[in-house]
Structure 1
Amino acid sequence: MTRRMRDRMVTPAVTAVLAVLLPASTPAGPGTAADATVPAAVAGPVTPAPAITHREERIDTAGGPVTTDVVVADLRRSGVHATLLTGATVGERATVPAHAERAGVTAAVNGDFFDFARSNVPAGPSVRDGRALTSPVPPGRRLAPAVPGSDPADVLAVDGSGTPRLDRLTLDASVTVADGTRLPIRTLNAYAVPVGGIGLLTPDWSGDRNATLCGSDTDRDAPCAPDRIEVAVRDGVVAQVRPPGTGPVPDGEQVLVGRDEGAAALRGLAPGDPVVVEHRLSAASGVPPRTAVGGSPVLRDGAAVPGLDPVVREPRSAAGITAEGRLILLTADGRESTSVGITLAETAEQLRRAGAVHGINLDGGGSSTMVFRGRVVNAPSEDTYRAVPNAFGIVAP
């Protein structure tokens, strides 16, 4: 018996959903309900499609059979909206079922790649309820499969009107000191500060602050920067200048962490100095997101991104956007003889097949987990559900 069979049984409701989502194979002809000459009284009332649906599919690939789960949500419908699911801090992890239950969402899928087994902080930008939580790490420090043309700032974003889009969120941040000098801030609550840079940590951070100044822009295991410092700011004034520490950032406080040239610049500050810390995530589209999760685009304008890997098969999670603005969540089971996983190239194809014109790859492997109406509907590849720092959720009636 497979893990999927052990975890759950497919109910007749899935067949009903498929009947709603998949078009009939025979075109409508004269005398059918689709014929414009049939009176409305004869055709009967049109039942609107559900606001959110789930279906399971078995597909054949070059590597073997694969089971996918697909959720489609219409964010234009009243009472339907997307939200980012997180813990109290950016590095706090929970399983996708726990995230979903705590937030009361109808559907959820795991989110961005993250600094696994270290800070556990997401690699890319994240926005919850309009508030910026994290900015991207340096390109060489993003833990994810290589996707041609992708950028650590890439996100799936949903704006305040419920419109989803692929976007890029870059950090616009600085600390201005008493003489008017403006020092650039390179990261917000990121697990890796670029070499020579300054990072900003807020009360959304709870991990090892010193570790953000270790590694290089290309090697997470490189030694810590020889010159490191942190500056605590409270009420617009420098409260303390000290070696980088560990633990959470207290409420009402901001911590500037610097390495190399960034550390040298921060050493000019002293307790009591007035400073102005400003930060925001700027969207390439010009539309501020209400919700955003990091990922790598694999489908644009109905076509797969050129150069996607066609060989490596893994459990996958992804999200897509239809031409009408519906949101698609997708998982593909893997690492089993009954479901061998899909490649990045096949991920783009499965999103397109589900109706997406744009799509993004999310964290995969043991993280891939989908919840629909209170239960896990896919078959995660590990014996226990992996705890993740964020998930992408949908609230629906």
Structure 2
Amino acid sequence: MNRSKRPRRALASSALGLVLAVLTTANPAVAAPNPTGTATNPATAAAPGALVPGALAPGVTYREFSRATAGGTVPGHLVEVDLRNPLVTVDLLTPGAVAARAPISQQANNRRAVAAVNGDFFNISNVQAGVEVTGSAVGPAIAGRDDLKAAVPNGQRFGPGLPPGTSTSDVLGVGVDRRGRLARVDLRGKISAGRDKFAVTGFNQYALPVNGLGVFDSDWGTVSRKRPTCGTDTDRAAACSTDTYEVSVRHGRVTTVGTEPGTGAIARDTVVLVGREQGAETLRQFEVGERVRVDYDLVPDTRMPFTFAVGGFPILRDGAPLAGLDARTAAVRTAAGVSADGRRLYLVAVDGAGPGLTILDLALTLRDLGAASAVNLDGGGSSTLVTRTVADPAVQVRNHPSGGAERPVPNGIGVFSRLG
């Protein structure tokens, strides 16, 4: 096994405009939108160690806003992060495993984040009888420069329909250069046995492509690996494959083989290979004791490695909403965006107490707040934004979750301060 493991690592409604209102006296007044992506908030533009009214920590502010739409006034919550501030870091929050869920407040408190929002859409339900729900996210995930998982096939995703030209491989993240950006992250991997080489087409994901061969490692967790062999590339509800095979590899040698995907924790020195259809046929060639090399890595379409990345479909790029965004269906939403220079991060949750935003209005809202590029994250009952000041012991949920309580989710975006 050779894992290149890095160190823990509608337009008409827009005319009604964005009305930014101070809803608590502790929050700073909001400057007018700035399409250039330069600093718009004096709190996050302050000196690196300065704390100003409304700041959670140096370089991090929280405020409430409202947006007037054709459906009514929509309340929202914004955390703005100055990525240039050396006291600030951003990373992916997780419950400790890819196939696991926890409330975002719990994930934030466990890592001592000063702010966080929920992240990617995820495997929230299964239509296949008797198959365990994994809770795993749809898109790629990178935390602390460590690759956690790859993207499921487009037809197996949860969430609203993808805009044209986007896919489950799209992410928003922050690079090692401390700049935020949108990118596409793909899986590159192979299995070598003697002179034979086989492509890896899945990594810690709840759905493998038809005929696929996936790698599962210790980051997956304890949940059954049966769900990844269910559905097809175009039909999430299709039956599970009846042609499957599983092989465990420890220290470069096959240790166990079996016809059914297993369950339980995977040791850190072991990877489990799961195949369906042609992938299963490939794995049947392996024998216990045989030497096998497994290589897999997530590769972004940018030269700059990511410190963290979370899956989400793009809604705003270079200051313009993407074509084909839904302009009719209003709902509670979560989104994340970055300024044109990549130096500012915007985390937004639409409050469940209001009528919600269409995806087009969400894109326009992010643009008016200062973002040049943005992604839509999981919404509805998942939408949660939490904050605390560096002096507070625990975060508070700032929005009103539409389900009346926090929903457990697989990941989120966390903001951290070196001050505590």
TM-score band, normalised by shorter chain: 0.7 to 0.9
- Inter-partner Cα distance in structure 1 for 2:156 and 2:407: 22
Map 1:221-240 onto structure 2 (within 5 A).
221-240=237-256
Map 1:244-393 onto structure 2 (within 5 A).
244-324=261-341, 325-334=343-352, 336=353, 339-373=354-388, 374-393=395-414
CA RMSD of superposed structures (Å)? 1.7
- Inter-partner Cα distance in structure 1 for 2:323 and 2:208: 31
Instruction: Give per-residue Cα distances to partners, 1:53-72, cap 9 Å, x unaligned.
Output: 11111221111121011111
Q: What is the match of residue 22 of structure 1? A: 31
Q: What is the match of residue 76 of structure 1? A: 84
- Inter-partner Cα distance in structure 2 for 1:147 and 1:63: 24
Conservation of the 8 A alpha-carbon contact between 2:80 and 2:344: yes
- Inter-partner Cα distance in structure 2 for 1:236 and 1:174: 13
- Inter-partner Cα distance in structure 1 for 2:193 and 2:305: 28
Task: Choose which of 152, 168, 190 in structure 2 pairs with 1:174.
Answer: 190
Instruction: Give per-residue Cα distances to partners, 1:255-283, cap 9 Å, x unaligned.
Output: 00000011001110000110100011011
Q: 1:251 offset after TM fit, Å? A: 2.9
Instruction: Give per-residue Cα distances to partners, 1:276-313, cap 9 Å, x unaligned.
Output: 00011011012211101000000000000011000111
Residue 311 of structure 1 aligns to a residue in which SS?
A: coil
- Inter-partner Cα distance in structure 2 for 1:100 and 1:307: 34
- Inter-partner Cα distance in structure 2 for 1:121 and 1:331: 21
CA distance 1:60–1:242, shift in 2 (3 Å): same
Conservation of the 8 A alpha-carbon contact between 1:232 and 1:239: yes
For structure 1, which runs of at least 5 residues remain unmatched after alignment? Answer: 1-8, 25-45
How many aligned residue pairs are there? 360
Task: Choose which of 139, 152, 161 in structure 2 pairs with 1:124.
Answer: 139
Residue 349 of structure 1 aligns to a residue in which SS?
A: helix
Conservation of the 8 A alpha-carbon contact between 1:320 and 1:356: yes
For structure 2, which runs of at least 5 residues remain unmatched after alignment? Answer: 1-21, 34-44, 53-57, 126-132, 389-394
1:289 alignment partner AA: F
Q: 1:93 offset after TM fit, Å? A: 1.1
Q: 1:79 offset after TM fit, Å? A: 1.1
Normalising by the residue count of structure 2, what TM-score does the alignment of the two structures yield? 0.83
Conservation of the 8 A alpha-carbon contact between 2:336 and 2:346: yes
Q: What is the match of residue 19 of structure 2? A: none
Instruction: Give per-residue Cα distances to partners, 1:310-366, cap 9 Å, x unaligned.
Output: 0111110000111242000011124x4xx1000000010000010000111101010
Identity of aligned residues (%): 40
Q: 1:247 offset after TM fit, Å? A: 2.3
1:221 alignment partner AA: A
- Inter-partner Cα distance in structure 2 for 1:349 and 1:145: 18
2:269 alignment partner AA: G
Q: What is the match of residue 168 of structure 2? A: 152
- Inter-partner Cα distance in structure 1 for 2:381 and 2:46: 39
Residue 151 of structure 1 aligns to a residue in which SS?
A: coil
1:153 alignment partner AA: S
Task: Choose which of 61, 67, 72 in structure 2 pairs with 1:59.
Answer: 67
Q: 1:147 offset after TM fit, Å? A: 2.9
Normalising by the residue count of structure 1, what TM-score does the alignment of the two structures yield? 0.88
- Inter-partner Cα distance in structure 2 for 1:60 and 1:223: 45
Conservation of the 8 A alpha-carbon contact between 2:187 and 2:296: yes
- Inter-partner Cα distance in structure 2 for 1:395 and 1:351: 22
Residue 58 of structure 1 aligns to a residue in which SS?
A: strand
Q: 1:150 offset after TM fit, Å? A: 1.3
Residue 387 of structure 1 aligns to a residue in which SS?
A: coil
Residue 388 of structure 1 aligns to a residue in which SS?
A: coil
Q: 1:369 offset after TM fit, Å? A: 0.2
1:381 alignment partner AA: S
2:256 alignment partner AA: Q
Residue 13 of structure 1 aligns to a residue in which SS?
A: coil
Instruction: Give per-residue Cα distances to partners, 1:131-175, cap 9 Å, x unaligned.
Output: 100100011011121132211110011112211100111000111
Residue 122 of structure 1 aligns to a residue in which SS?
A: coil
Instruction: Give per-residue Cα distances to partners, 1:198-241, cap 9 Å, x unaligned.
Output: 01100111211122111111222211112100000000001111
Conservation of the 8 A alpha-carbon contact between 1:147 and 1:298: no
Larger radius of gyration: 1
2:250 alignment partner AA: R
Instruction: Give per-residue Cα distances to partners, 1:60-108, cap 9 Å, x unaligned.
Output: 1111121011111001111111110012211221111111111101110
